[in-house]
Amino acid sequence: MPINEKQAASVEEVLWKGHTAVKFSAGGYEALIVPDVGANVIELKNTLKNISILRSPNEDLDFEAFKERPQIYGFPVLFPPNRIEDGTFKVGDKVYKFPINEPKRNNYIHGFIKSEKWQITKKEVISKDEVQVEAVFNFTKEHDFYKYLPHEFRFKLSYNLSCKGLKQTASVTNLSDEKMPIGIGYHTAFNVPFDENGNDEDFRVMASVDKRWEQNERNLPTGKILKLTEEEKKLLDGGMEVSGHPIETHYMLKNMNLDGKEFRGAVIEDKSNKLRVIYEMGADYKHLVIWNDTGNKHFVCIEPQTWVINAPNVKMSDDITGFKTLLPRKTWSEKIRIYVEM
């Protein structure tokens, strides 16, 4: 079959680094999900344009090394997202004390379910142009982390792949008898460039950002909310370069106008090839981190978050921070979509 021709929708189990993975294809896209490591979508390709959208672990990286740091590959879920100061926060009279896993800054970072084993509960060809794959993580009292987060819950990730790209629906159900704090985020790692023939310097990022959170030496918000600099205003118009210099910046999200339509999210654009990857985000994702490590690793992480970094400890209105709790037996849900503009 020619490379730029759509293949019929399909889904199958494959072996990846000695572990079962699910490969699914539809509408000119291919994806690979690894349930043993956070149900992470570690590959997303557009076969019509012959590009790899997400950064994938290379062949030389062994499985345990990937599991140790999955947040720099694919589409990992963070629960809670980013950092908690001293690993400690309080909700009402209840004190939560998470283990310190960023010792140099004395923070808890990136949550735990990104490396956990999930169960694939659905893998179905819906039509000749659409596939659905569903993964579930059931958190119970038997889990080692329960002593830090004493709430049973179910986290479900449902992926629909079609000509419209990859749509993800995330949902969390509180199965405990008390309200539980929930903060959701993604450390989505995009290739820069999308293929071996591209150039880093041709890439720009646009994002529907509003203002920037000032951060201290521990990468925690100071409580000050700053206007965008002239360089950051390029995120709203024309795009900002994401290679050649380190970026680690935390923004508020808002809706913006993109090509005459209301849009919330980010755009990664290859200027030389006039190619854009669109990352749409639901309204509950109120904050965004952009991070590219040192700026020379050929990727940029676009990180939507429902709450600001360290939200439980930020002394501001929940309407601003995005902090929320989920009542017993209630479910939270929101959507995200990644696609190539055709």
Strand partners, 335: 169
How many whole angstroms separate alpha carbon 123 and alpha carbon 120?
A: 7
Overall number of domains in the chain = 1
SS3 33: strand
- Asked whether the beta carbons of 247 and 297 are under 8 A apart, the reply is no
Per-residue model confidence as pLDDT tens digits over 20-75: 999 999 999 999 999 999 999 999 999 999 999 999 999 899 999 999 999 999 99
Per-residue model confidence as pLDDT tens digits over 76-116: 999 999 999 999 999 999 999 999 999 999 999 999 999 99
Give the pairing of strands 180-181 and 275-281. unpaired
**E strand or H helix at 86:** none
pLDDT at 3: 52
Kindly tell me if the per-residue pLDDT of 187 is higher than 50. yes
Per-residue model confidence as pLDDT tens digits over 249-290: 999 999 999 999 999 999 999 999 999 999 999 999 999 999
Count of beta carbons in the 10 Å neighbourhood of residue 58 = 8
Structural domain contains residue 241:
yes
Per-residue model confidence as pLDDT tens digits over 279-319: 999 999 999 999 999 999 999 999 999 999 999 999 999 99
Count, residues in the chain: 342
Distance set, CA 121 to CA 131, 133, 170, 304, 312 (Å): 14, 8, 14, 25, 32
Q: What is the DSSP string of 242-268?
A: -SSS--EEEEEE--EEETTEEE-EEEE
CATH number at residue 95: 2.70.98.10
Domain that holds residue 182: 10-341
Structural domain contains residue 117:
yes
- Asked whether the beta carbons of 289 and 301 are under 8 A apart, the reply is yes
Structural domain contains residue 4:
no
Structural domain contains residue 334:
yes
% of the chain at pLDDT higher than 90: 95
Measured between its terminal Cα atoms, the distance across the chain in Å is 20
Strand partners, 125: 131
Percent helix, strand, coil in the chain, to 5, is 10, 50, 45
**E strand or H helix at 119:** strand 119-127
- Asked whether the beta carbons of 156 and 170 are under 8 A apart, the reply is yes
Structural domain contains residue 287:
yes
Structural domain contains residue 3:
no
Per-residue model confidence as pLDDT tens digits over 53-68: 999 999 899 999 999 9
Structural domain contains residue 1:
no
Q: Which of 1-10, 48-57, 175-184, 292-301 has the lowest mean pLDDT?
A: 1-10
How many whole angstroms separate alpha carbon 38 and alpha carbon 135?
A: 9
Kindly tell me if the per-residue pLDDT of 228 is higher than 70. yes
Per-residue model confidence as pLDDT tens digits over 133-143: 999 999 999 99
Structural domain contains residue 107:
yes
pLDDT at 1: 43
Which sign, positive or negative, has the C-alpha torsion 179, 181, 183, 184?
Answer: negative
Q: pTM value?
A: 0.96
Kindly tell me if the per-residue pLDDT of 4 is higher than 90. no
Distance set, CA 309 to CA 50, 83, 157, 338 (Å): 36, 6, 22, 23
Count of beta carbons in the 10 Å neighbourhood of residue 300 = 25
